[in-house]
């Protein structure tokens, strides 16, 4: 009877070395453009009811035409690609969460330092 060195309930850990979305893309526009080309420019243009050439210009660096918020919403609805949402979350909310964690840690440290004074005053 062979003996396994691995416990039956052990879960396998998967590591990803891919950079985060905010590191992979310079902007939301670039993030959306990547998804459009992955799904196929022609197909997405049909879904968004726009000519492929116009869509290509909208998601390019050309400042004369822009990819609208309504188009972004339709793109997400039609493709199910939520990457642009996660890009925005990572770019804007991750930093706030880190800041909040740092503030909370600083507040807890200050509270620990004040605990003896609170005890002397009979507050704890």
Would residue 73 count as lying in a domain? yes
Q: Residue 54: which of 70, 69, 71 has the closest Cα?
A: 71
For the chain, the domain total comes to 1
CA distance 63 to 45: 19
CA distance 30 to 81: 14
The mean pLDDT value for 5-18 works out to 59
Predicted confidence (pLDDT) at residue 43 exceeds the cutoff of 80: yes
CA distance 106 to 100: 10
Report the percent of the chain where pLDDT is more than 70. Answer: 78
The pTM score is 0.63
Would residue 57 count as lying in a domain? yes
Q: Residue 79: which of 27, 35, 34 has the closest Cα?
A: 35
Would residue 2 count as lying in a domain? no
Report the percent of the chain where pLDDT is more than 90. Answer: 48
Would residue 48 count as lying in a domain? yes
CA distance 7 to 17: 27
Per the model's pLDDT, the better-predicted residue between 52 and 113 turns out to be 52
10 Å CB burial of residue 67 (0-12, 13-18, 19+) is buried
The mean pLDDT value for 8-20 works out to 64
Domain residue limits at 73: 21-99
Q: How confident is the model at residue 9 (pLDDT cuts 50, 70, 90)?
A: low
The segment with the largest mean pLDDT, out of 19-23, 83-87, 105-109, is 83-87
């Amino acid at each position: 009877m062979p003996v396994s060195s691995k416990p039956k309930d052990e879960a396998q850990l998967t590591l990803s070395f891919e950079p985060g979305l905010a590191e992979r893309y310079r902007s939301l526009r670039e993030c959306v453009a990547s998804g459009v080309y992955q799904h196929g420019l022609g197909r997405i243009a049909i879904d968004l009811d726009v000519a492929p050439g116009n869509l290509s210009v909208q998601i390019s660096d050309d400042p004369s035409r822009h990819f609208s918020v309504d188009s972004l919403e339709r793109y997400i609805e039609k493709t199910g690609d939520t990457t642009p949402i996660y890009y925005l979350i990572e770019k804007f909310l991750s930093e706030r969460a880190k800041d909040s964690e740092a503030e909370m840690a600083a507040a807890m440290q200050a509270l620990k330092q004040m605990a003896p004074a609170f005890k002397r005053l009979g507050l704890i």
